[in-house]
Amino acid sequence: MATMTQTLPSLVKEISQRKIDAYSVVRARSIHTDESWARAKGFRAPLAQGMMSTAYVSEMMTRFLGAGFVKGGTISMAFVKPVYAGDRLTVHGVVKDRQPENGGTRVTVEVWCVNQGGQTTAIGTASGLEP
């Protein structure tokens, strides 16, 4: 029997240096907050922390599942391309599985982030308990 694909509303995130600074705390010799150090390490600009993408997925999942993500949620992500200050990321999610768990249902979502150039920067899964 065919099943309907459930696509979550996507999120768009503008990554500024100020936001990276707030997330990472400004430190010398950091690829996130020290432009000259980032260039010395071979990057064209300071990088966003990979974990910022997990925060975006967390936002998407909290909107989707609410308390069942905050308590009982999971994220598993790989960061496959750098995200730079000035990039714009779109965060996507598609439900791929529902399984019974402790009298409820665990929903697993495939998640990925794409930059303004169409490159995938992070991929993985997130899950939580459906109300």
Partner 1 sequence: MIQFKKLTYEALEVGEEFVSDEQLVLPEDVETYAFAVDDHHPWFLEDSPFGGPIAHPTLLGNQALRMRHGRYIVHAGLHAKMDFEFLEPIRPGVRTRSRGKVVDKYERRGKPYMVTEFVTEDENGTTLVRGRFTQMLFRD
Q: Is 50 in the site for partner 1 (CB under 8 A)?
A: yes
- From the list 54, 131, 122, the residue with the least C-alpha distance to 83 is 122
Q: How far is the CB of 85 from partner 1 (least distance, A)?
A: 13
**Nearer residue to partner 1 within complex by CB, 24 or 115:** 24
101-130 binders of partner 1 (CB under 8 A): none
Q: Which two tokens stand for residue 2?
A: 């065919």
For partner 1, the closer CB: 22 or 94: 22
Q: Which is nearer to partner 1, 6 or 41 (CB)?
A: 41
Mention every residue, 6+ apart, whose C-beta is less than 8 A from residue 42. none
CA–CA distance, 121 with 79 (Å, rounded to integer)? 6
User: What are the structure tokens assigned to 116, written together?
Assistant: 């303004």
The site for partner 1 (CB under 8 A) is made up of 13-14, 19-20, 22-25, 29-32, 37, 41, 47, 49-52, 54-56, 58-59, 62-63, 66-67, 69-79
